Structure 1
Amino acid sequence: MSEEPKVIAGVKVPDSAMARAATEVVRDTETDLLYHHSRRVFLFGALTGERNKLKYDPELLYVGAMFHDMGLMDSYASDTERFEVDGANAARDFLKAYDVAERDIDDVWDSIALHTTPGIPQHKRPTVALVTAGVEMDVLGLAYDDFTPQQRHEVCSCHPRGLRFKHGIISAFCYGTIRKPETTFGNVKADVLSRMDSTYQRKDFVDVILESQWES
């Protein structure tokens, strides 16, 4: 693997032994699409933290971002847990090999376990909030215009989205969950409103991805 840039869009990428080990584990496990996505999640999350003047630990954010989709991979997927929990457990096991405080491990666990649960992470500590912010920017294009064109260009130049990232990430989500569909049962109140309120319009996650401001 060629050496990654140390600074991207003004963000210094963590280069400690722990961060390098996390990079190696994820690079060796995930597909290229998910690896580059995870790196972009870190960068967009860090840029969000800097823009909002949040005090965050770059290494914790990095591990949370890098491991957030590990549960989609067969080698880390359990038979019954949500993929988010599988990824969170993988990150926790990884961090326990290093001198990381239990509270920080819990924050990384939460950052991964909650990254598909909108409305909650932004109220948690920065590691949790910023992993989700990075995911929402890269997958859904949320807060797209809060990033400068130069920031978006530099991030995607170093970690390309590819010509069909939108379709590729949807496929990755599908293949990572299709064998345990019961784990996809989400916010049950949407089911209540769809049954009880004739004016309710359920949002479709795939539509949000495909209709985002990202070109591909």
Structure 2
Amino acid sequence: MADAISGIKIPDSKIAREAAELVRQHENEMLFNHSVRVFVFGAMKGIRQNLKFDSELLYVAALFHDLGLVDAYHTEAKRFEVDGADAAREFLKSHGIPEPKADLVWEAIALHTTRGIPQYMRPEIALTNAGVLVDVVGFGYDEYTPEQRDQVIAAFPRGDFKNEFIEIQTCSALKKPDTTFGTVNFDYIEYRDPTFRKPNACTLIHNTPWRS
């Protein structure tokens, strides 16, 4: 991997290298490149906003944030975000990282698809979410210069990202549709099958055993 992209140095500690190696074992090139881009874009924003953040923790959060999409870390009942968050926390704790830091990474990954909340939380959480948003749906695209965007893509190419990413997210959502209720993940099911009806909160409330 490139040592630095547009002024952002890729962490090279033992933990960072081992995290990257673990994720590379299970993710395809598209997903791995996306994960590193999330770190770079997030770190760029953090520097631009003069935020104090732990670059290594942000890197691990970015690397693991989609690991729950792959078979080796897929569970039947948890949201894919939680699967990835659990894997990251276990990895960090096994490397002697204190629980508060491991929990911070867990929160960053678990909340990375949630809009409207992460930006008010600690920098590592906010920046993981920001990196995901710009790389996946283009939110904040114009906050980066064309040169910055080009350098990131040159180092970690997108390829056929849009189609491949939708496909892997859809496959994950279809395996456990109940976990998509109230989340952006339902959109992947609806995109594949417009006739699929998600649970409705009002219907759930009316169907409770309470009399009123």
Superposition TM-score, scaled by structure 1 size: 0.84
**Other-structure match for 1:107:** 104
State how far apart, in whole Å, the 2-side matches of 1:67 and 1:13 are.
15
Larger Rg: 2
Q: What is the 5 A alignment of 1:2-13?
A: 4-13=1-10
Is the alpha carbon distance of 1:131 and 1:148 closer, same or farther for their aligned partners in structure 2, counting shifts above 3 Å?
A: same
Unaligned runs of 5+ in 1: 194-216
Q: What is the 5 A alignment of 1:107-146?
A: 107-146=104-143
State how far apart, in whole Å, the 2-side matches of 1:160 and 1:102 are.
34
**Other-structure match for 2:22:** 25
Aligned residue for 2:175, secondary structure, equals coil
State how far apart, in whole Å, the 2-side matches of 1:141 and 1:95 are.
30
Aligned residue for 1:5, secondary structure, equals coil
Runs of 4+ in 1 over 4 A off after TM superposition: 190-193
The letter of the residue matching 2:165 is I
State how far apart, in whole Å, the 2-side matches of 1:74 and 1:58 are.
28
**Other-structure match for 2:181:** 185
Pairwise CA distance, 1:177? 2.0
**Other-structure match for 2:71:** 74
Q: Percent identity?
A: 52
Residues paired across the two proteins, number: 188
Pairwise CA distance, 1:29? 0.6
| C-alpha RMSD over aligned residues | 1.6
The letter of the residue matching 1:152 is R
State how far apart, in whole Å, the 2-side matches of 1:92 and 1:120 are.
21
Could you give the per-residue CA deviations for residues 61-103 of structure 1, whole angstroms, max 9, x where no partner exists?
A: 0000000000000100111100000000000110011232211
**Other-structure match for 1:150:** 147
Unaligned runs of 5+ in 2: 185-198, 203-212
Counterpart pick for 1:168 among 164, 168, 183: 164
Superposition TM-score, scaled by structure 2 size: 0.85
